[in-house]
Chain A
Amino acid sequence: MEFVPNIIGFACQWCTYAGADLAGNLRCKYPPTVKLIKVPCSGRVKPEYVMEALANGADGVLVGGCHFGDCHYKDGNHKTKNRMDMLKVMLGDLGFDPRRFRREWISGAEGKKFAEVITDFTAELIELGPNPLKGGK
């Protein structure tokens, strides 16, 4: 059977989640691979959440937040950047392919960008194959 990646997406309710909504309204086409979880702010996403998703077999994890300057809570996304960029490096140090984790800034007006990110991420994950923790390579 063809491999369909399973992506867990943590989306900021002010930007990326609205962007996903707009992608639907614009009838953008993108693969049905992402399960979006709405969070108050991308700064709310703890590294544990990402690691828990990967540990439970998610093929990829996406954290989506607002562009700098747009954060509803002023500096939540700055914390996200520091944390998630370090987490990505740490995932590599743990022996996990860091390409399975992405941090993206997608605003509420960027429905098209949301669709593009998911399409691109899905293609990359198909190349990487299933999560090694559920029997992939």
Chain B
Amino acid sequence: MADKVKVGFLLLGGCAGCEMSVVDLSEKLVDALAHLEVVFWAPTAADVKYNDLEAMEDGFIDVAFVDGMVRLDEHIHMAKVMRKKAKTLIAFGVCAALGGTAGMSSLHSKEDLFAKAFKNTPTTDNPDGVYPQPSCLVDGKYDLTLPVYEDKVRTLNQIVDVDYYIGGCPPHHSHVGAAIGALLSGQMPPKGSWITNGKAVCDVCDRNPAKKGDNLSRAMVTKVLRTVDGTPDTDICLLQQGYICFGPITQGDCGGSCLNVNIPCRGCGGPIPGIEDYGAQALSSIASILKDDTVSAQLMEKYPNLAKFFYRYALPSGTLPKRM
């Protein structure tokens, strides 16, 4: 069995949706397991503990998939341990790569987040005011602690060196399959690259006017609508209808999944090659195709928080936000 590729999965601050994408490979995963040996999968699928990873010798794991963003000191510690144990480390999914939706929480203070989570939500029923404590003593002898909550969300590459990135929230299972296929065949791009087909969402979207020879393909956006303002026509480009879509600047490894169900792209696939700062480029691209300043005023009115709109999945990776 020594010739099998040893893989490990580690979930940091995430929902494990990326790992569900691996499971969604179903029969293909069974075929791949002839060439793969899963040596670590925590804290979700396998009954292994963090200690087991720490006990491995350095470089034992050939390929590590790390998903989820970094918010706790536990995440920072485990990311560093995984980096030591893995020859190749992949930021798996948009949370690990760019911070994900949880990254937007960096715009709020720790105190506000705590109050929202444990005090102010309408469904909270906590008359005795029982709140999580950093440490507590159970039965007089078990000294239990909770991980420390850091000031802001970080991406994986702000903690450790990352070899490859895979976008998506979660990555489409066909994309995961292609990525694992590329790994096994050894046909990988240069270190530091995104594993992607290199196409934008527009490129894989059936609505793309250019694919239909439409002479309106360069038309400017003349109004701004949100999806609550009506039902978009399923054949026409969403941007041309006024529904703001980030397809032009997002990697289309998803096959345009959201567009196929009439929902505009919000950029979970990560930026197409050449873009450093997703949110800044999203702002720039969208602003450039608005017809005039009345349309941009309409956009700013419809989307009350532009930072959360343009940086939906990428806030912790932004030029300015990551230094604040």
Residues of B within 8 A of A89 (CB): 300, 306
**Contact call A93/B305, Cβ cutoff below 8 A:** yes
**Contact call A51/B280, Cβ cutoff below 8 A:** yes
Q: B319: CB under 8 A from chain A?
A: yes
Known: A93-B307, A95-B107. A52 touches B296 (CB 8 A): no
- In the bound assembly, the distance between CA atoms of A96 and B320 in angstroms comes to 9
Q: A46: CB under 8 A from chain B?
A: yes
Interface residues contributed by chain A, number (CB under 8 Å): 24
Residues of A within 8 A of B276 (CB): 48
Residues of B within 8 A of A85 (CB): 293, 296, 300
Q: A94: CB under 8 A from chain B?
A: yes
Q: B78-86, B93-101, B138-146, B281-289: which one contacts chain A?
A: B281-289
Interface residues contributed by chain B, number (CB under 8 Å): 28
Known: A82-B290, A86-B306, A89-B306. A94 touches B324 (CB 8 A): yes
Q: Which of A81, A83, A94 contacts B284 (CB 8 A)?
A: A83
Interface string of A84-109 (1 = CB under 8 A from B): 01110111011110000000000000
Interface centre among A54, A93, A94 (most CB of B within 10 A): A94
**Contact call A86/B319, Cβ cutoff below 8 A:** no
- In the bound assembly, the distance between CA atoms of A127 and B293 in angstroms comes to 30
Point out residues on A near B: beta carbons under 8 Å. 46-48, 51-52, 54-55, 78-79, 81-83, 85-87, 89-91, 93-96, 132-133
Q: A51-B280, A81-B296, A83-B284 are in contact. List 19 more A-B contacts (CB 8 A).
A: A46-B280, A46-B284, A51-B320, A52-B319, A55-B319, A79-B288, A82-B288, A82-B290, A82-B292, A86-B287, A86-B300, A89-B300, A90-B306, A91-B320, A93-B305, A93-B308, A94-B107, A95-B324, A96-B324
